[in-house]
A = this chain, B = another copy of it.
Amino acid sequence: MTEELNTGLLLFLPYRAMEARVFEELAAAGFEDITPSQARVFQRIASTGSRLGDLARQAGITKQSAGFLVDQLERLGYVYRAPDPDDGRARLIRIAERGHRGVEASRAVVARVEAEWEAHLGARRMAQLRRILADLREITDPWR
């Protein structure tokens, strides 16, 4: 039964499962101090550093909220702020040493969960899923 569940909810369920697994295993790996909200911002920091406003826009929150979360990430040692050489008003948020270790750990969990999904769906349908979602992103990700 494909049921009457709307596609939004169908998308949400595995998303939440992935998020829950990542936080669970991250906590077990010594990163128990990070929250989902912080992670949703952290996740979007470019490798060359990002501006607060860009992070806010991509995460879909106000820059005040993003600033609040970045303050915490900074206090926890995941990121640091540096002046933006190109614009005196702006500062770049960059990933610190501990942040890099967290990225590595979470990448490992994601890979593990994706492998489980692939084992359930089969490689072919897993690839289809990713292709279709990437395609859908074109009309559903105005923050790109």
A residues with CB within 8 A of B: 1-3, 5-19, 22, 43, 60, 110, 113-114, 116-117, 120-121, 125, 128-141
Contact = CB atoms under 8 A, between A and B. Distances in A.
B128 A132 contact: yes
Nearest to A5: B134
Contacts of A6: 18, 110, 114
Given A120-B138, A129-B132, A136-B120, A8 B2 contact: no
Copies of this polypeptide in the complex: 2
Q: Is the interface of A mostly helix, strand, loop or mixed?
A: helix
Given A15-B12, A15-B15, A130-B2, A7 B137 contact: no
Contacts of A139: 17, 116-117, 120
